[in-house]
Amino acid sequence: MDGIFVKKEKVDFLTQDSKSDLALLLEQKNLEVMVQKIDKNSLIWLTPGSDKNMVEFFYIVEGSLSLENSEEKITLEKNDCFYTQDLKNKVLLQSNTDMKILYISSGSVYEYLDNFYDELNFLLDKITEKDEYTKNHCKRVADYCLFISKKLKCAEAVIDNIVVASLFHDVGKCYIPDEILKKSHNLTNEEFKEIYKHPTYSKKVLLGKFSDEVTRIAYEHHERLDGSGYPCGLRGDQLSLEARIISVADSFDAMTSKRPYNKVLSFSEAADELYSLKAKYDIKVTRALKELVDNGELLQMINEVKA
């Protein structure tokens, strides 16, 4: 029929399990129409672009999300919509449920987003293939980094970078032999030397896939203020705020998680111990964690994420 164009291809992820997160439905000059699948508890940043005239329109087909900036937090449900144009600051979106969104852009974004999600899925697959503990550990560390960063009222760019870095900080463990990584008793000196390489492996994997800042944060997650960390033995002001936060979050999860070689501590015990180690960990960061634990905020936040 003249003037009517029918596209009958099925969008796989709308009807069955699929690794696809984004589907391009229509591409014309200065127009892209997409459908995006977003998992529950995902964090998405809307960032200012170089084209002030570009409009991005979002229509919620299924699910619910929270939209948050420095001034307010809004919850949007199925059939709600919003759009951005000439955005001045980053805006954080968090999916409260599994979601499907109709996404319309007046500029070209699909190719960039598709490549980005391919990289994310590749890294997540690498972590998942290694072992379930590493995958769950990375997710918990990302949550703790987010909670601590918000408690410290960090800038949006800091929160953005540290959440991404923490989600993939241990991807380098994919290159550590299973007989070392999953060993249930004490490691030898040589085996420890191999374990100490995993931040370097993470750096190599993340380089070119994420920003230099994200790569650096992941690389430095085992550094300590007194220079006793690895792989570089950085100390004091050589450690960025992001590195100080991720080192606390990473240690906190290791201390409170069941592993063959360690005694599991309660949240309170672990927070108190980290707070006492002022030479190794930034006191502002451990104080923020301790306050989150002592007043019950941390447990409440974790329950909200799991709900």
Give 19-28 pLDDT, tens digit per residue. 447 888 999 8
CATH architecture, range 119-306: Orthogonal Bundle (1.10)
pLDDT score of 275 more than 90: yes
Stated pTM of the model: 0.73
Encode 34-49: b = buried (16+ Cβ within 10 Å), e = exposed: bbbbbeebebeebeee
Q: Tell me if domain 12-108 and domain 119-306 are identical in fold.
A: no
Cβ neighbours of 29 (radius 10 Å): 5
Lowest-confidence pick of 24-28, 47-51, 138-142, 241-245: 47-51
Nearest CA-CA partner of 170 in 257, 287, 263: 257
- Is 52 buried (19+), middle (13-18) or exposed (0-12) by CB count in 10 A? exposed
| 122: confidence class by pLDDT, cuts 50, 70, 90 | confident
pLDDT at 127 over 90: no
Structure tokens at 271: 């927070």
Q: What is the pLDDT of residues 231-241, one digit of tens each?
A: 999 999 999 99
Provide the CATH topology of domain 12-108: Jelly Rolls (2.60.120)
Domain ranges of the chain: 12-108, 119-306
User: For residue 226, what are its two tokens?
Assistant: 């007194």
